[in-house]
A and B are shown apart, each in its own frame.
Chain A
């Protein structure tokens, strides 16, 4: 304990310095919490073609079949997440997207003209260009 005290004295950090350091540390932690916060989504918006098919709560367990130009696409909602389960399209990109859970995430099946978008309290940018 004495050794630690001597060490602290040797480091020449005064009491005000400690206070200021911890205040600054709190500020940095606050910044991380604010800017690196990923919001869980609460709602799911399904688009079919050029119209909104439906907006559903993610707080349910449900499987949907949505009809598109190629056939039926199967979507599953579970534990606040959603995914394409199967799709009649060739590339299966939408199925490979897997589970979506964060607000702003999107999965699109272009061939069958169906898209899923997760919504949260506020809508983050889905794309930015400059």
Chain B
């Protein structure tokens, strides 16, 4: 059986591989609180959204979630569900936020919005399914503060990457 692949497929695969690498790198870093992670793989998603289009960004993000969970051995586990839930939520927000006026809102805005959406998606999953406990509310400010910090940093990094690697004239 032969699958005919296009140039676009190769590009998605390459970018997804990059995102998977970053995600794996992050998964071995210790975290002060489960769930508080820099989310550096989202830099790739954001970069792709700007350099290519939303569909490519969605492919890269979702492929990253599935492939990383297979590599780490947590496919279909709660960790995977949280990862997927966060990715879907942030993609949904990015899908809307990409229409914000470009002269005023750059990657930093999109990154912060995506990080918030990611965190809200995960917290909702945790609250409704994994830990249906009111005490979780106590952690919400911490998680959101982390999302703001890392969203800001990832956004700045993405801006610099976009400037450093201008769109090739193809």
Contacts and interface: CB of A to CB of B under 8 A. Distances in A.
A28 B143 CA distance: 9
A34 B144 CA distance: 13
Given A28-B141, A28-B144, A16 B112 contact: no
Interface in B120-170: 131-135, 137-138, 140-141, 144-145, 148, 151-152, 155-156, 159-160, 163
B108 A17 contact: yes
Contact of A21 (B103, B107, B112): B112
A16 B105 contact: yes
Contact of B133 (A11, A20, A130): A130
B141 A31 contact: yes
A17 B105 CA distance: 5
A52 interface: no
A15 B104 contact: yes
Nearest to B142: A32
Contacts of B113: 20
A28 B109 contact: no
Interface in A35-49: 35-36
Contact of A12 (B112, B116, B145, B156): B156
Contact of B112 (A20, A31, A36, A128): A20
B18 interface: no
26 contacts: A11-B159, A12-B107, A12-B159, A13-B156, A14-B104, A14-B109, A16-B104, A16-B106, A17-B109, A20-B112, A20-B113, A21-B108, A21-B109, A21-B112, A24-B112, A24-B151, A28-B141, A28-B145, A28-B148, A31-B144, A35-B138, A36-B138, A36-B141, A125-B134, A128-B135, A130-B133
Interface of A: 11-17, 20-21, 24-25, 27-28, 31-32, 34-36, 125, 128, 130
